[in-house]
Structure 1
Amino acid sequence: MVGIILASHGDFANGILQSGEMIFGKQENVRAVILMPSEGPNDIKGKMKEAIASFDNQDEVLFLVDLWGGTPFNQANGLYEEHKNKWAIVAGLNLPMLIEAFASRMSMNTAHEIAAHILNTAKEGINLLPEELQPKTPEPATAAAKPSNAGAPGKFKYVLARIDSRLLHGQVATSWTKTTNPTRIIVVSDVVAKDELRKKLIQQAAPPGVKAHVVPIHKMIELAKDDQHFGGQRALLLFENPQDVLRAVEGGVPLETINVGSMAHSTGKVQPNKTLAFNQDDINTFIELKKLGLKFDVRKVPGDSKDNMDEILKRAQAEIKKRS
């Protein structure tokens, strides 16, 4: 696996590593190296050497640095000179770049490949509101229209169905999208479908190249039965709670596995693990889903190990009984 060094002036590298792992999951062979105000070039160079020595594979190293021409860049460049046929440096570190680098290590084996690949994502991650402030880039007159399979005969292919009380957020828009490669993200919720502000925010949170939609449950059931317009479309479905999943499945949405990622705690609920909270209705609903043949994939992010849903439900049920 390619080793990654995050290098910065001050604690920026530590902070962005924490943010990246919060979204994508804990990473191996990644080190943050920082230059403090009281330190000089040799200090950060020594830290970089120590970080490289800790990697499983020291032949493939990617430096992600904060500023081109700054001391972290210059010291990384000095080390890179002796390994330029293998190592790589990318400056202008931002969170989309880092997450893309994490994802790329799953399929790319060289620092050069990853460095070339992450540039577009880093640039696309820079955006602004209001949209009218965005510079207009005219399309070349000779540019051909991008081919689309929208409207082709066939049904959706479901690449992920997830229960997450936060719906479309960083972990979904980055790590799960990179893993499942959907063409559409569909939030299935009667409540959210009536909330114009939440709908707009969800549509704006869609990652580049993926369309985000919000539909009520009855509409999702209709879409699932449509075999004339969704050929080639890969759908990632998001639900706020298991009750909405049960209604969708009973109505005919052909799901086989539910990723259970996050269920927020609220009054009256018990919390058998760090990310999931249940009341009795939630427990009963999961039991009904199991009776319908659904399997449960209990993970916050793709890199997490899977938890046992049966054991989680047992602990939740025992905690509820204690309180009654």
Structure 2
Amino acid sequence: MIGIVIASHGNFAKGILQSGSMIFGEQENVQAVTFMPDEGPDDLRRHLTDAIAKFVDVQQVLFLIDLWGGSPFNQANTLFEEHKDQWAIVTGLNLPMLIEAYSARMSMDSAQEIAAHILGEAKNGVKMRPEIDNATEEQTVSKKPANNQGAPGQFDYVLARIDSRLLHGQVATSWTKTVKPNRIIVVSDSVSTDDLRKKLLRQAAPNGVTVHVVPITQMIKLAHDKDHFGGQRALLLFETPEDALRAIEGGVPVKELNVGSMAHSAGKVQPNKVLAFDQADIDTFAKLKQLGVKFDVRKVPNDSPDDMESILKKAQLELNKKGGN
């Protein structure tokens, strides 16, 4: 395991640590170090050494620091001198860099290897609106689907998710990095007729992944196409369980649904922090279960799955109680 120290002037380190946990899940062997206005270099050095001492079974340490040449960098650099073979420092900290570091340490064993790897993601995370028309060829190519688009065969469905927010940080980063799709397909009749939402979803596409927005009937047709989608790894996003049921009943071969979030609205009960149900939702999940669909209830891959049966029972009890009042 590689330990990560996030260090900054002020509380930036604590804030970005919290943001990273929201998107990628809670992480082991990660510490935030802050350098406050009333502190000096010795205080900061002590904070850094205390943070490293909290790591368990860690020899490799990666420092992610806000500013080159600032006090957090300077103090980390003095510690680094004694561990040049196993430690690394990267400055210019941003959230894409942190998320990529979390992902990379699942497969990389060297802090210095991770440090070199995350520089590209940190740069790719800096974008602007409106876009510059004369984008470089490298930027253009990075948005294209895989070269095997159009090969004989059907989609490989790497994830199907119910999420009222559709494509957002948890999907675009943690789930995309885990299941590695080259297409994200938003399956929704309502969104497919909303030009603004379609545009915003396409603009939120992760690097190297193409985002499509299609109505349910079109997704059913695509699922039956055996001639054009060989080698294509598809991540499906449904706004509601009802949309997922219609697609599956139409022949989209989803065997498991990741249930990420269902927004609260009038008439719904909320048995946990992220899922809200009305009677139609509960009945829909019952039908999905009858079709043999399994449920994976978690926001991000690192979360422990919740028990869907218990959640639905609690929701039904709350609805019954609400109806009896």
Same fold (TM over 0.5): yes
What secondary structure, in the 3-state scheme, does the structure 2 residue paired with 1:290 have?
Answer: helix
How big is each residue's C-alpha offset from its partner over 1:146-166, in whole Å with a ceiling of 9 and x where there is no partner? Answer: 971111111000000000000
Cα distance in 1 for residues equivalent to 2:278 and 2:134: 49
The structure 1 segments of at least 4 consecutive aligned residues displaced by more than 3 Å after TM superposition are 134-139
Q: Within the alignment, does 1:282 sit opposite 2:265 as a pair?
A: no
Give TM-score, length-normalised by structure 2.
0.96
1:109 positional shift: 2.1
Structure 1 counterpart of 2:220, which letter? Answer: I
Structure 1 counterpart of 2:316, which letter? Answer: Q
What secondary structure, in the 3-state scheme, does the structure 2 residue paired with 1:82 have?
Answer: helix
Cα distance in 1 for residues equivalent to 2:310 and 2:9: 46
1:135 positional shift: 6.5
Q: Within the alignment, does 1:77 sit opposite 2:77 as a pair?
A: yes
Structure-1 residue corresponding to 2:141: none
Structure-1 residue corresponding to 2:47: 47
1:314 positional shift: 0.5
Structure-2 residue corresponding to 1:215: 214
1:116 positional shift: 1.4
Q: Structure 1 residues 196 and 170, CA, compared in 2 at 3 Å: closer, same or farther?
A: same
1:137 positional shift: 3.4
Structure 1 counterpart of 2:67, which letter? Answer: L
Structure-2 residue corresponding to 1:322: 321
How big is each residue's C-alpha offset from its partner over 1:172-204, in whole Å with a ceiling of 9 and x where there is no partner? Answer: 000000000000000000000000000000001
Q: Within the alignment, does 1:166 sit opposite 2:134 as a pair?
A: no
Give TM-score, length-normalised by structure 1.
0.96
Cα distance in 2 for residues equivalent to 1:284 and 1:19: 35
Cα distance in 1 for residues equivalent to 2:307 and 2:8: 40
Matches within 5 A, 1:231-310: 231-310=230-309
1:239 positional shift: 0.3
Bigger Cα displacement from structure 2, 105-114 vs 301-310: 105-114
Structure-2 residue corresponding to 1:142: none
Structure 2 counterpart of 1:229, which letter? Answer: H
For these two proteins, the number of residue pairs brought into alignment is: 318
Structure 1 counterpart of 2:74, which letter? Answer: N
Cα distance in 2 for residues equivalent to 1:44 and 1:153: 59
1:170 positional shift: 0.2
Cα distance in 1 for residues equivalent to 2:137 and 2:123: 18
Structure 2 counterpart of 1:240, which letter? Answer: E
Structure 2 counterpart of 1:99, which letter? Answer: I
1:107 positional shift: 1.5
Structure-1 residue corresponding to 2:130: 130
Q: Structure 1 residues 151 and 295, CA, compared in 2 at 3 Å: closer, same or farther?
A: same
Cα distance in 1 for residues equivalent to 2:170 and 2:137: 33
Cα distance in 2 for residues equivalent to 1:256 and 1:118: 34
Q: Structure 1 residues 149 and 263, CA, compared in 2 at 3 Å: closer, same or farther?
A: same
Structure-2 residue corresponding to 1:95: 95
1:28 positional shift: 1.1
Q: Within the alignment, does 1:156 sit opposite 2:151 as a pair?
A: no
Cα distance in 1 for residues equivalent to 2:231 and 2:137: 30
1:42 positional shift: 1.2
What secondary structure, in the 3-state scheme, does the structure 1 residue paired with 2:185 have?
Answer: strand
How big is each residue's C-alpha offset from its partner over 1:262-305, in whole Å with a ceiling of 9 and x where there is no partner? Answer: 00111111111111000000000000000000000000100000
Contact kept, 8 Å, 1:184 with 1:234, in 2: the verdict is yes
Structure 1 counterpart of 2:29, which letter? Answer: N
What secondary structure, in the 3-state scheme, does the structure 2 residue paired with 1:8 have?
Answer: strand
Q: Within the alignment, does 1:190 sit opposite 2:194 as a pair?
A: no
Structure 2 counterpart of 1:182, which letter? Answer: P
Contact kept, 8 Å, 1:3 with 1:57, in 2: the verdict is no
What secondary structure, in the 3-state scheme, does the structure 1 residue paired with 2:268 have?
Answer: coil
Q: Structure 1 residues 18 and 243, CA, compared in 2 at 3 Å: closer, same or farther?
A: same
Contact kept, 8 Å, 2:145 with 2:183, in 1: the verdict is no
Cα distance in 2 for residues equivalent to 1:41 and 1:113: 29
